[in-house]
A and B are shown apart, each in its own frame.
Chain A
Amino acid sequence: MLSFNVLVLACLCYASFLFVVAFWAEQRAKRGRLGWLKSPWIYTLSLSIYCTAWTFYGAVGYAARSGLEFATIYMGPTMVMIGWWWILRKLVHIGRSQRITSIADLISSRYGKSTVLGVLVTVLAVIGTTPYIALQLQSVALSFAVFSQAGNEGVTGAATLPDLNVTALWVAAGLSLFAILFGTRNLDANERHHGVVTAIALEAIVKFIGLLAVGVFVVWGIGGGMADMLARIDASPVSQVDLDGTRFITLTLLSGAAFLTLPRMFQVLVVENADEDHLFTAGWAFPLYMFGMSLFVIPIAVVGLNVLPEGSNPDMFVLTLPLNYDQHALATLSFLGGFSSATSMVIVAAIALSTMVSNHIVVPLWLSSRKDSATYSGDIRAVVLLARRVSIAVVLALGYFYFRLSGGSEALAAIGLISFTGLAQVLPAMLGGIFWRGATRTGAIMGLCLGFTVWAYTMFLPSFGAAAGFSTQVLDNGPWGITQLRPQALFGITGVDPVVHAVVWSLALNSAVFILGSLMSFPRPVERLQGAQFVNVFDHSGPARGWSLGRVEAEDLLVMAQRIIGSAEAQSLFQNEAKAQGKKGYLPDPTPAFMDGLERKLAGSVGAATAHAMLGQITDGAAVSVEDLMAVANETAQMLEHSNQLEAQSNELARTARKLREANEKLTEISIQKDAFLSQISHELRTPMTSIRAFSEILRDAGTSGTKLDEASLARFSGVIHDEAQRLTRLLDALLDLSVLESGQVFLTWERHDLHDVIEHAIEATGQGLDGADLQIKRDLSSEHIILDTDADRLAQVFINLISNARKYCQAETPVLHIKTRRQGLNIQIDFIDNGQGIPEQKQSVIFEKFSRLGDEAKAGGAGLGLAICSEIAHNLGGSISYLPAQGGAGFRIDLPQTRQLP
C-alpha cells in the first residue's frame, strides 16, 4: 500500500518543482529571453485554472448525481471561447489599451474611474471567492484523507485519519508563500507574472494527463473499450436521470457568464494576456482542453457507481477507482492532478483579489488618511506591495477559516454554483459597459447592489442554513411569515429549482435596474469620455482627453510618478516623452496627451480610480470644468472630420514650434551669457594681471633705485606674482582643454577599470571623505564594482568636478552627496545627488553650456567651464551627462557605455 508519508513526499517534491519552474521562468523573462514563454499555448494552458478541484473531482460526483448536466459547466465557457469575436476580443483589447488591472478596475474605470464601484466589485469578489478557495483546500485535504485511509486499512486496520485541518493549513500556507513570491514581484499588475503563468501552464498539463489517464484506464482497463462503455452507460443509473431543461440552459449560460467575470479568469484572460492574437489559438484550443477534461467524466462515474461499494463518495471516484484496482502510480498521478487544479486556482485567485483589495480599498484609504501631503510624502510603491502581500495572506486565511467553519460540506458542486452566481452579478455592468455608451455609473451601482442583495438572500445566506438565520421555517414560510418573500420562492414563484430561481431573479433584477438607472440618469463628463473610449475601442484612439493645459509643473508630476512606478522607470518615461516632444532632458511639457498616457501608466500599478485621483491632486485648480470638457469633446469630434494627415501635420508643427521656441530661448540666454562672460573673463584676466604688474613694478623699482628689500617682502611679492600667473595658466588651460575636447582631437587612453577605483580616486583627490571634510559622501560600495572600458583620468576629472561643485554650491546645513551607480542594459548610470537647493528650472537647460554660472558672484573662482568640460568628456567617452530634476537637490546623471563604442 502507498504510505501516507510517500504521498506527502511526492507532493512536496512536486511543489518544490513548481517553485523551481516559476523561478526559472522569472529569471528567463528578466533576461528578456521570452521565447515560448509568450506563446499562445502558454496562454491557452493558463486558462485552464477554470478547471479547479471542483471540476477535477467534483465533475464525476456531479455526473453521478445528475448525469449529463455536468457538461453545462464546460459548455458555457466553450461557447464564450469559440465565439471570442463577440466579447473576448473587445474585452482583451480594452484591457490592454486601458491597462486594466482587475475586473474591479475595468468596471471602475469604465464608469468614470469611480471608487465606489471599485470597492463594490472588490467586496463582491472577496465574498464570492472565499468559499471557492475553501472548497479547494477541502478537496486537497479530502484527497489526502482518501489515501491515508486506504493506506491505514491495508497496514494496521486502524483508521487514524490525519487531521484534515492541519493538512488544509499547510496547503494554505504553502500557497500564500508561492503567490507572494511570484505574484507580487512587479508593482505593475498589468505586467505579466511569467513565473506564475508558467507554473500554471505546467499544472494544466499535469491535471489534463491525470484525468485522461484515469479515463483511459477506466474505459480500456476496467471496461472493454468504447462500445462496451456505451452499453454500461445505458445500463447505469447515471443515464436514467431526467435532464431538467431550464436548469440545463440556465447553468450553461451561468457558467459562460462566470467564465468572463470570475476574478481569476479575468486575470488570466485579460490582465495576463500578452498578445491579442493569442485568442486565435485559444479560441479553439481551450475548448479542446475542456472537451478532453470532460470526455471521460461519465464513464468514470458509471464505472465508479458500478464497481465501488455502496455509499462511497462519488466526488472522490477519480482517486478511489485506481486505488481499488491497486494502481498506485495512476492514483498518485491523479492525486497530483487534483492537487494541481486546486493550487493553481488558489494562487491566481489570491493574486487577482490582492490586486483588487490593494488598489481599490487599501490605497484609497491610505491616500485619504494623509490628504494634504499625499503626493509628496511616503513611498506609495512600498505601501501597495505590502498591501498586496498582506491581502494574499488574508484571502487565504479567510478561505481557511471558511473551511474550518463550514466543516467541509459533502457536495462540492453547490458552493461552486453559489460562487458563480455571485460573480455573474458583474456581467450586466461589464457587457453594458463595453457595448452600450449609455450605461452610467448610477445604473451600474444600483444594478450591482440589487443583484448582490438578491443573490445573498436567495442563495448565499440560505447555504449557511440556520446559522445565518435561514431555518427551514423561514425557507418554507418566509421571514415574519410573509410568504411573498420566501428566499427560494420570491413573489410566489414556486416549484422552480433553487439555483435557477436565484440566478434568474438576481440577474433579471440586476439588469433591469441597471438599464433603468442608466436610462434615467445623466453621466458625468469623465464617464462619457471613458464610455466612448471603451465602446469605440477599435476605432482609433478616441477623443478622451481628461486633462486641460493647466499650470501643471512637470517636475511635480515626475516626483509623483517616481513614487509610484519607481525612479528609473519614471525617468525613462519622462525622458522618452520629452524626446518625442523634441525637448532635451527629463521634463516634457505636460500636454493633455502626455497626462493621459501618464495616468494610464500609473493606472497599471494602482488602478484607474486612484491614478485619476492622484493626478487630480496635482492639477488641482486646473481640473477641467464640465463646459471645458464638452467643448474639448466637440472640438475633437469636428477634428476627426479632417484627415489623419492634417492631425499629423499639426503635431509636427507643434513639435517644431516647441523646438524653435526652446532653441530661441537658449540662444538668447547664451548670448546674454557670452556677454557676461566676456566681461567676466576680462575681469578674471585683468585682476591677476594688475597684481602681477603692480608687484613686478615694485620689484623693478627696488632694483633700479638700489633700495634693499627685506627677505620676507621679496618672498611675498614674488609669491603673489607666481600665484597669479598660475591662476592665469589654470584659466587658459581650462579654455584650451575645452577647445581640444570640443574639436574631438583629444587623446584618450582606453583601458578596463573598476568604476569603484575611479570614484575612490576622485574622492581622494578632492580631499573629501577624509577627516574634517565639509561634505558627507554616501555611497553604495557593493554596487560600484562594475568593470568598464574608459579613460580613468578623464572620468575621474568629471567626478572631481561634480564633487567639488557639490561642496561649493550645496547650501544645506550638513551637506550630503549621494553617489549611486547602477547598470541599465549595456549602459552604466552614475548619479551624483546632493541635498541642497538644486538648480532652478530655467537654468537647467544652460548649465552645461560654456561660461554659464549659477548666480553672479564668482564664487570659488570658477569661470563656468567645469560642467561644460564634464559634458564634453562624457561625450568623448561615448556617454552623456544630464541634470536630474526632482531629486530634492541638485542631481547629475552620467550615462556611460560599459564597453567602448567604436564610431
Chain B
Amino acid sequence: MDDRRRTPLYLARASYRRRRLIDAQRLLPIFLFLLYLIPLLWGDEATNTPVGDGARGYVHVFSVWFGAIVIAGLITRALRREDRRHETDQTIDQTPAVDFENGS
C-alpha cells in the first residue's frame, strides 16, 4: 500500500533503464536453464548417437555457460554505472534539503 503511494506510475528515463536491466538479470538464469537443457533433445537410438551427443553436448553446455557469465558481467557493469549516476543525481538533489534542515 505504501509502495504504491511512493513510486509514481511512470518512471524517469534513468530509473526506467535500471528496471529493465534488472528484468534482464532476472530472466538470464531462466534462459540459461532452457538453453542448457537442449542437449537432452539430441541423439536417440535410431541415429545410434547417445543422448546428449557426446562431444557436441560438451561444447554446447560450456559455450552456453560461458555466454551467460559474459552477459551477467555486462548487465552488472551497466547496472553499477546506472547506480553511480543515480547516486550523484541524488546527492545533488539532497544538498539544499540538508541545509534547510540545519537552518531551521
Using a CB–CB cutoff of 8 Å, the interface residues on chain A facing chain B are 67-68, 71, 75, 78-80, 82-86, 230, 233-234, 238-245, 248-249, 252, 280-281, 283-285, 287-288, 291, 295, 298, 539-540, 640
Contacts and interface: CB of A to CB of B under 8 A. Distances in A.
A79 B33 contact: yes
B50 A239 contact: yes
Contacts of B2: 539-540, 640
A281 B76 contact: yes
Contacts of B30: 83
Between B2, B32, B50, B72, the greatest number of chain A beta carbons within 10 A of the residue's beta carbon is seen for: B72
Given A71-B61, A82-B69, A241 B29 contact: no
Contact of B55 (A234, A288, A640): A234
B26 interface: yes
Contacts of B59: 230
A83 B54 contact: no
Given A245-B40, A539-B3, A82 B68 contact: yes
A238 B58 CA distance: 11
A78 B68 contact: yes
B37 to A, nearest CB: 7
Contact of A291 (B25, B26, B36, B62): B62
A230 B40 contact: no
A75 to B, nearest CB: 6
A85 B25 contact: yes
B54 A79 contact: no
A287 B40 contact: no
Given A75-B36, A242-B52, A83 B76 contact: no
Given A83-B28, A248-B40, A284 B51 contact: no
B69 A233 contact: no
A75 B66 CA distance: 11
Contacts of A84: 25
29 contacts: A68-B39, A68-B57, A75-B36, A78-B68, A80-B29, A82-B29, A82-B72, A83-B26, A83-B28, A234-B54, A238-B54, A239-B54, A240-B54, A242-B51, A242-B52, A243-B40, A243-B57, A244-B51, A248-B37, A280-B76, A283-B72, A284-B69, A284-B76, A285-B73, A287-B72, A291-B62, A291-B65, A291-B66, A298-B58
Nearest to A238: B54
Secondary structure at the A interface, as helix, strand, loop or mixed, is helix
Interface residues of B, number: 35
B80 interface: yes
A249 B52 CA distance: 13
Contacts of A285: 73
Nearest to A240: B50
A79 B32 contact: yes
Interface in B31-89: 32-33, 36-37, 39-40, 43, 50-52, 54-55, 57-59, 61-62, 65-66, 68-69, 72-73, 76, 79-80
B22 A85 contact: yes
**SS of B interface (majority):** helix
A243 B76 contact: no
A230 B54 CA distance: 10
Contacts of B29: 79-80, 82-83, 86
Nearest to B42: A243
A295 B32 CA distance: 17
B40 A283 contact: no
Contacts of A288: 69
A239 B65 contact: no
Contacts of A85: 22, 25-26
B20 to A, nearest CB: 13
List the 3 closest pairs (A to B, CB-CB), nearest first: A239-B54, A83-B29, A243-B52
B25 to A, nearest CB: 5
A301 to B, nearest CB: 11
B61 to A, nearest CB: 6
A248 B39 CA distance: 11
B1 to A, nearest CB: 8
Nearest to B53: A239
| Residue among A68, A248, A252 with max Cβ neighbours from chain B (10 Å) | A68
Contacts of B80: 280
B66 A245 contact: no
Contacts of B39: 68, 243
A284 B72 contact: yes
A295 B62 CA distance: 7
A93 to B, nearest CB: 15
Given A71-B61, A248-B40, A83 B50 contact: no
A239 B59 CA distance: 12
A287 B59 CA distance: 17
A233 B54 contact: yes
A758 B67 CA distance: 70
- Quick one: which of A82, A243, A280, A539 has the most chain B CB within 10 A? A82
Contacts of A244: 51
Contacts of A540: 2
Nearest to A282: B76
A376 to B, nearest CB: 42
Given A68-B58, A79-B29, A241-B50, 7 more contacts: A78-B32, A82-B28, A82-B32, A85-B22, A244-B51, A245-B51, A283-B76
**Candidate in A78, A86, A240, A295 with the most chain B CB atoms within 10 angstroms:** A78
Given A78-B68, A284-B73, A233 B22 contact: no
A285 B73 CA distance: 8
B9 to A, nearest CB: 18
A243 B50 contact: yes
B3 to A, nearest CB: 6
A75 B60 CA distance: 13
B48 to A, nearest CB: 11
Interface string B1-12: 111000000000
Contacts of B65: 71, 75, 78, 287, 291
Contacts of B54: 67, 233-234, 238-240
A242 B51 CA distance: 5
Nearest to A67: B52
Contacts of A75: 36, 61, 65
Nearest to B66: A291
A539 B3 CA distance: 8
